Structure 1
Amino acid sequence: MEAQKAYQYKFTVVTPVYKVEEYLEETIESVLNQTIGFEENIQMILVNDGSPDRSEEICLKYQKQYPDNIIYLKKENGGVSSARNESFPHIQGKYVNFLDSDDKWAADAFEIIYPFFEKNQNKTDVVGARKRFFEGRNDYHHLDYKFETTKVVYLQTQYDYVQLDVTSSFVKAEVLKRHRFCTELKYGEDSAFINEVLLEKCTLGLVCEALHYYRKRKNETSALQNELKSDSYYVNSPKYYHKALIEKSLEQYKTVPEFIQYAVMYDLGWRIRKDIRSYVTDDRAESYKKHIQEILQYIEERVIMNQRIMYKDAMIYALSLKYDRDIRKEIIYDMGKLLFHNIELLNLSQTSNIIILTSMEVKDQTVCLEGRVNTWLPEEDYEIYTEVKGKRSPLSCFDLKEFDKMGLDGVCHKGRGFRLEIPVGKKEWDLTFSIWYRNIYRKKVRFAFDSTIPLNDEETSYYYQNFCLIRKDKKRLICKHMGRRERLEYEKAYQSTLARTGRKNLIPFRKWYMLLKELKKKEIWLAADNLSQCQESPVPAVQYLSEKRKAGTRMYFVSEKSCPAVKEAGKYGKVLAYGSFRHKILFLLSDKIIVSGKHKDDMDVFGEQGTYMKDLYQFETVFLE
């Protein structure tokens, strides 16, 4: 109870401010609107880090409105770490959150966090909330798997439940006396800080009901490129983040706890996949690579292989960096498993994505397939074979540069693509793939579909085009010449699957499509952009159709509400209500879909359920830049 009386507020929120006039008010308002009660329970410290825009004006406006709760500090520009450190002498809350100036909190977050922290304050010094992206993305952070339940995690046993940022964390004010943000760091400063705090008790509170919103800006590409050109990225981060955490661990425990290994490896997992020689000199790149290899000596093999976010090829590359040699040459085969130092790298009998089909089309009574080989195995160690109509043939591959796997020295695993053209014929046939590994293992393998393939994982899924029906059965791709009436039996089975799996709402669209497809006589062009959300003038799709329209073509536009663009579009075609039944039917019947590049991710009017309708998508897509 004595400790409780020492704090004027339940929470202090520290927000560094620099060039954020566009977002700052939204951030501050998310704190003011906390249901726990701002004036009674929350202190906010706004630290102006020499911002040249209107940020100071915004800070002063709120400080004047809440003089007892909001402290405004101003300093010369020194970076986010120095700005946060500036706030420490002024903190009067029991629990502290370092909120970035373009992020925000759900309204009830603090009200949820407080009783949990009070109940568990003797167990942990840090509590984390769920982290959801907004603006540029609309999903949860990669580490969201931690939040299946609200609990206190013991990091010595659950070492993959790491915390890597402070903006979605709450820290006890009392522990801040022993810690400061490292001002030498521009990248990873919050992860270095929070993990240094976590080292004290090796526990972490997780509250799945509290939600933090992390703004993922749409224009981050240039910032990333600037980061890769910065000396701080190559020198300071390895020294003051990775090495500092390792040295602190050794000082406290004489070993590096696995959760620290995991946190450092999480960051390295992103770093080792960048071809840094495109950004810095060879000498700088070589020095940086040696730093990475030194750090990897403190990370155990199983911690590398248990990374949840890293792809397997990156794990193999990390092991090769650790030992400064290509460890793939030392793999041992044992009953279908590929082992390195007795760690399973791959189970050939269970893998399902060595072969990925990326394109499927039937034209001129020929099934045309494209795909890629998705494996980190050395090319000389394996061979892929196809078998069609009882005839086995080696798969002929070509370089597919867009799928090259990059490392610190450039390409570490080459992308490999293939094309197959198989006559349909009158009899049913199937296609299978098999892998032959070092001439000691031969077995058919499952294959996977890219999202563009018009099949899904449902057992009754099929694709019908030009009197050819294609479906998948475990390790086989089955093809059969088929008339429309026989096709309806497969459609009936698929609709039954949709009804059984909770997608009954899609069935009417499929039934109407089957009927109207037979009656359709004219081409249909559909501009997929929602006119009411288009800011350009003229609207690109309207301009395209006004220039490219041809006689006999039926043209349609879509809009949620009336707007100037609707009137203009009406000169060239009909305007449908966006998302309406008619919109969805005409989407399926279209011969051409026109969409601007910025809206291409929203093109599919069926949204996530489009996965179960895409076998009907037989339109040409025109992307307008």
Structure 2
Amino acid sequence: MLFSIVMPVYNSELYLSEAIESIINQSIDFKKNVEIILIENNSIDNSKKICEEYASQYPTNIKVIFQDKPNVSLARNTGIKACSETSEYIGFIDSDDKISLNAINDTLDFFVENPDINLAVLPLFFFEKKRGEHSLNYRFKKNKNIINIMNDSNSIHYHIGGTFFRKKSLENTGITFNEEMDFWEDVLFINSFLIEEKKYGLIPTAKYFYRKRRDGKSLVDTSWFKKNRYTFLLKHGYFQIINRSIEEFGEVIPYIQFLVLQHLKLFILQKYNTLVYEVLNDEEQNEFFKELYHILEYIDEKVIIEQNMKTYLKEYLISFKRWGYPVKKLIQLGKLEDEKIIITNWKVQKFSLILSASLSNEESVINNENSIYVIYGGKKRKIKITNKQKNIVIWGTTVRDRRYSSFQLKIPLGVMNFRFVVERESDYIALNKVNVLNKIFRKLTRI
């Protein structure tokens, strides 16, 4: 066999066949070139039966290993050990995901054409509850198929799904999945390998399809409600990869800083940042914030600024890095000149357009001393503040005051362009211009 595909299985009866069939139906000859190693983690649904049925149908190509304890890291380690001695490449596919039919053939072509590269990855696309492509897919659009982590510090790789290794190289490193971890274990595994290898390949012609479940019960979705998603992850995930970088290079290289920061920033997003108070008790919270402060000591402020995230998140992280928790004062990176006003609703009323608008608050804020105007046809009209929006708060610190961020305005029909302007200290700051025809066209095209 050329390829061994390792697939942990746990309560995946609704998706398992689709995952397996996506491998069986590959453009490369499945029976001659591919084996699937199914590690059944003592599921309580029909997953075990489905595994057995496929193994009986393809006895030469599909192995089933039964594991009493549900442990994804142990399952993958077991799967690696069970790969045929003759296989040359090991790939990982989760039991609720799938791959494009050309994936394995294109991966083989890449490894043949690049004999010095021992790790290659597929671009990731979401399906089911969420659609579209992963934000890290920008790597596959750079007109190059090899990433050197010493030069491409922001071309980080996270997901074990759709990741392929040369089997011999993986065995030579002796790297295994940390069996105490059931989250971020794949990031640690992949990037421990990359710290030694320095390079990895991109296969833009193939696709890995990552299922965002409608039931919200994936490991990623449920991890936020587990204690080991917090301090344990910082100590055994972030610090572990930081220390590996220091051991290899004598420093935390920018690639590893980007890697940790890209994940760490999830903690402060509006969707998740209050959960730390729900999941951890007071003592555990203090330990978490202390460890997070130590992690940020290894991340340069320049790296934070270069991140693709909202300005107020950068401001908070840098402030946390400088002064710790709780953050009592914020540095200011954003400029009001870069702020945008967004049209949230509009309607025609007699001979006017009635518009509702909102300051995005990604960059800066206004207060009760500021006035906002709309300018059109040489006229300047003051805008009425209509309601108070909810402030943006991170761990008790208000990072954006939004009390003066919602407006309502009336524009005469026939006005095709207008601009928002903020008055601040007798100075006028021009914000974004609005084209009414474009707004109407976009609304019509969505009908």
Same fold (TM over 0.5): yes
Is 1:419 the counterpart of 2:412? The answer is no
CA distance in 2, matches of 1:221, 1:406: 27
> Among 52, 59, 73, which residue is 1:60 paired with?
52
Listed one character per residue, the Cα deviations across residues 443-478 of structure 1 (whole Å, up to 9, x for unaligned) are: 2111579xxxxx5xxxx5364xxxxxxxxxxxxxxx
**Across the two proteins, how many residue pairs are aligned to each other?**
432
Is 1:611 the counterpart of 2:447? The answer is no
Is 1:396 the counterpart of 2:398? The answer is no
Cα deviation, residue 46, structure 1: 0.6
> Among 345, 351, 356, which residue is 1:359 paired with?
345
Tell me: CA distance 1:330–1:18, structure 2 relative to 1, closer, same or farther (3 Å): closer
Cα deviation, residue 293, structure 1: 1.9
Unpaired runs of at least 5, structure 2: none
Alignment of 1:157-556 (within 5 A): 157-177=151-171, 178-220=174-216, 226-273=222-269, 274-276=273-275, 277-308=277-308, 310-324=309-323, 330-331=331-332, 345-346=333-334, 349=337, 351=338, 353-375=339-361, 376-377=363-364, 379=366, 383-387=370-374, 390-391=379-380, 393=382, 396=385, 398-401=387-390, 404-409=391-396, 411-416=398-403, 417-422=405-410, 424=412, 431-436=418-423, 439=425, 442-447=428-433, 461=438, 463=440
CA distance in 2, matches of 1:428, 1:74: 70
Is 1:100 the counterpart of 2:94? The answer is yes
Tell me: CA distance 1:462–1:131, structure 2 relative to 1, closer, same or farther (3 Å): closer
User: For residue 96 of structure 1, what is the amino acid of its counterpart?
Assistant: I
User: For residue 321 of structure 2, what is the amino acid of its counterpart?
Assistant: K
Cα deviation, residue 327, structure 1: 9.6
Residues 384 and 433 in structure 1, CA contact (< 8 A), matched pair in contact too: no
Cα deviation, residue 195, structure 1: 0.9
Cα deviation, residue 262, structure 1: 0.8
Alignment of 1:144-163 (within 5 A): 144-148=137-141, 149-163=143-157
Residue 131 of structure 2: SS of its match in structure 1? Answer: coil
Percent of residue pairs bearing the same amino acid type: 25
Alignment of 1:69-148 (within 5 A): 69-92=61-84, 93-122=87-116, 124-148=117-141
Cα deviation, residue 400, structure 1: 1.4
Cα deviation, residue 286, structure 1: 3.2
Residue 207 of structure 2: SS of its match in structure 1? Answer: strand
Q: Which residue of 1 aligns with 2:16?
A: 24
TM-score (normalised: structure 1)? 0.64
Cα deviation, residue 442, structure 1: 3.5
Kindly indicate whether structure 1 or structure 2 has the higher relative contact order, using CA contacts under 8 Å at least 6 residues apart. Answer: 2
Residues 175 and 197 in structure 1, CA contact (< 8 A), matched pair in contact too: no
Residues 289 and 408 in structure 1, CA contact (< 8 A), matched pair in contact too: no
Q: Which residue of 2 aligns with 1:578?
A: none
Residues 91 and 173 in structure 1, CA contact (< 8 A), matched pair in contact too: no
CA distance in 2, matches of 1:317, 1:371: 26
Q: Which residue of 2 aligns with 1:4?
A: none
CA RMSD of aligned residues (A): 2.9
CA distance in 1, matches of 2:317, 2:179: 29
Larger Rg: 1
Residues 18 and 55 in structure 1, CA contact (< 8 A), matched pair in contact too: yes
Of the structure 1 ranges 282-291 and 380-389, higher mean CA displacement relative to structure 2 is found in 380-389
CA distance in 1, matches of 2:183, 2:156: 17
Residue 313 of structure 2: SS of its match in structure 1? Answer: helix
User: For residue 193 of structure 1, what is the amino acid of its counterpart?
Assistant: F
CA distance in 2, matches of 1:303, 1:448: 34
User: For residue 407 of structure 1, what is the amino acid of its counterpart?
Assistant: I
Cα deviation, residue 360, structure 1: 1.2
CA distance in 2, matches of 1:171, 1:258: 24
CA distance in 1, matches of 2:218, 2:102: 35
Tell me: CA distance 1:235–1:428, structure 2 relative to 1, closer, same or farther (3 Å): closer
Residue 219 of structure 1: SS of its match in structure 2? Answer: coil
CA distance in 2, matches of 1:239, 1:111: 39
Unpaired runs of at least 5, structure 1: 1-8, 332-344, 450-454, 464-609, 618-625
CA distance in 2, matches of 1:348, 1:386: 15
Listed one character per residue, the Cα deviations across residues 287-331 of structure 1 (whole Å, up to 9, x for unaligned) are: 2222222211111122222223x2222222221221127697554
Tell me: CA distance 1:105–1:411, structure 2 relative to 1, closer, same or farther (3 Å): same
CA distance in 1, matches of 2:328, 2:147: 34
Residues 238 and 295 in structure 2, CA contact (< 8 A), matched pair in contact too: yes
Of the structure 1 ranges 162-171 and 268-277, higher mean CA displacement relative to structure 2 is found in 268-277
